[in-house]
Amino acid sequence: MRHALLLDALFERLGIAELNPAAALGDGSWRDGAGGFASIDPASGEPLAMVARATQDDYEAAVAAALRAFRRWREVPAPQRGLFVRALAEALRARKADLATLITLEVGKIRSEAEGEVQEMIDIADFAVGLSRRLEGSMLPSERPQHRLFEQWHPLGPVALVTAFNFPAAVWAWNAMIAAVCGDSVVWKPSPRAPLTAIAVQRIVDTVAAEHDAAGVCTLLLSDEVWPVVHLAADHRLPLLSFTGSTAVGRHLAPIVAGRFGRCLLECSGNNAVIVDESADLDLALPAIVFGAIGTAGQRCTTTRRLLVHRRRQDELVERLRHAYAQVRIGDPLDSETLLGPLIDEEARRGFENAVHETLVAGGTLLAGGKALAGHGFFVEPTLIAAANDWPVVQRETFAPILHVIGCASLDEAIRLNNAVPQGLSSALFTLDLRHAERFIAASGSDCGIANINVGTSGAEVGAAFGGEKDTGGGREAGSDAWKAYMRRQATTINRGRTLPLAQGIVFAAPGDGAVKRGAQGP
């Protein structure tokens, strides 16, 4: 097996001494599960390790542990909860290199991007620590004398968290770090394509939790079956489902959650465009487009999939992109010279081939790449294809490094095409025209959750809330006020007087009590 000695050393340093357990209860104990499935190295197609599969009993044990932990954890003062998250950040800093290497081995992300993912975990933890000191409510003016009106936020409950393979650790952190300081517990069902990363993260959490009386705050379920996700969506004990994945799966899960009046936080598909207008600085646009299109082998929800370029700049930009693509080194993601690692599996590689074929059959022109590479692993070429925005293949998200080039005559046309897809996650405009920049971010401009100027579609910072509109699902994670998704709002009125004036000037008299009049005050 490729890198067998390295993997053994990583397991030892990350505390993965035993892979058989399939569910973690968050107190250091694990359950054995039944059967198993393989974690596959996408750079070789070979199994890295076998892991166990959770059973129905394991599911029940994990959810019950999270519920017990929540009932205790919600009473812990938020700043003390922040100390737990701060300790998690320090543990991640100490293990950053090893965890990044494991991510690279398991999902094929190049080493620098994997290190960036662990850094993102640390960054959101740091953000959450600060948040633990400022989970503020609102003081509001009451129309009634001697009354105080305010809103406050309380912990919501155990959060069901389902994550995808492309960010196997960071998306857990986006949710778990914020949920923890909000007073919630988390039941995590990771992608079956990245179970080793999940085990490593859980081992780190278990160690820190034991030192901060946080047992059960973070639990884990491992499975390659569908039923645990459906169970999480249907479980009344879990008031919030945070799901990252395809629009098709999100569309299936949302009605299940809504049917029990639960909440959904959906981060689904993206079909992101970069607009390059006539005034754009191509030296600035070029690296953003290349990284956006081929970073993580095109397997980010924020990947740049469409290039909407002014026709007067199209030939020059395409030629520069073709030259840049020719320099991209494809290969072992652990090699520091590699810029493009493998797709996650054979299904993804077939999806790439099918999408290229469909685009060419529709009338597209291949400008660069277009081939799946022979040999071991799931490697493909970074691909440029001239296309039309309304073709079905362009309207879909293909999780692969395919960039569709579409010429535009004006900014208005480019904005219209940017918005003329079902998804609404990320968007970008490269321009030196202030009026164009303001037009793009206005209410009638980009309809996406992210709209950047002279910045690419990929690589969001944790300080802002992350998410999108339309088929992307509407959820928001990470920074800003995204924490409110993990809490419940409570409006409270306190009457310090001796009478009961009613709002809206209502006068109500119970028999024999006299009228209760607006404005009546006690001494």
Q: Is 270 left (phi over 0), alpha (psi -120 to 50) or beta?
A: beta
User: Is residue 315's pLDDT more than 70?
Assistant: yes
Tell how far CA 399 is from the center of its chain: 15
Residue 507 in domain:
no
Q: Does residue 519 have a pLDDT over 60?
A: no
Residue 170 burial (10 A CB sphere; 0-12, 13-18, 19+)? buried
CATH number of residue 449's parent domain: 3.40.309.10
Cα distance between residue 369 and residue 510, in whole Å: 81
Specify the number of domains making up the chain.
2
257 domain residue, yes or no:
yes
Q: Which two tokens stand for residue 73?
A: 């954890």
Q: Domain check: are 228 and 183 in the same one?
A: yes
Q: What is the pLDDT of residue 15?
A: 79
Contact residues for 196 (Cβ-Cβ < 8 A; gap 6+): 16, 19, 39, 48, 49, 51, 102, 105, 106
Q: Is residue 513 part of a domain?
A: no
| Segment 30-78, tens digit of pLDDT | 998 888 999 999 999 999 999 999 999 999 999 999 999 999 999 999 9
Is the pLDDT reported for residue 392 higher than 60? yes
Give me the active site residues, please.
267, 301
Reported as a single tens digit per residue, the pLDDT across 429-485 is 999 999 999 999 999 999 999 999 999 999 889 999 999 999 999 999 999 999 999
**Same-domain status, 71 and 203:** yes
285 and 262 belong to one structural domain: no
The SS3 of residue 307 is: strand
Q: Per mean pLDDT, which range of 14-28, 62-76, 303-317, 400-414 is the poorest?
A: 14-28
Domain around 254: 4-268+481-485
Residue 189 lies in a domain: yes
Say if residue 517's pLDDT is above 70.
Answer: no
pLDDT (tens digit, 9 = 90+) per residue, 90-107?
Answer: 999 999 999 999 999 999
Task: Determine the average pLDDT of the residues in 404-426.
Answer: 98
What integer pLDDT is reported at residue 520 of this predicted model?
43
Q: For position 523, what pLDDT does the model report?
A: 38
CA distances from 126 to 3, 163, 349, 486, 504 (A): 33, 21, 37, 18, 45
Question: Pick the residue with more confidence: 2 or 12?
Answer: 12
CATH number of the domain enclosing 227: 3.40.605.10
148 and 294 co-located in one domain: no
Is residue 496 domain-resident? no
pLDDT for res 18: 60
Is 106 found in the same domain as 29? yes
Task: Specify the higher pLDDT residue, 30 or 190.
Answer: 190
The C-alpha angle with vertex 63 and arms to 59 and 65, in degrees rounded to 5, equals 115
Instruction: Tell me, yes or no, whether 287 and 196 share the same domain.
Output: no
Q: Decide if 523 is inside a domain.
A: no
> What's the whole-model pTM score?
0.94
Can you give the pLDDT at residue 243?
98
Same domain, 128 and 261: yes
Q: Are residues 435 and 421 in the same domain?
A: yes
Is the same domain home to 110 and 186? yes
One domain, residues 372 and 240: no
The reply to whether 495 falls in a domain is no
- Asked if residue 248 and residue 342 are part of one domain, the reply reads no
| Confidence label for 22 from pLDDT (cuts 50, 70 and 90) | confident
Residues 307 and 237 in one domain: no
In a domain, residue 148? The reply is: yes
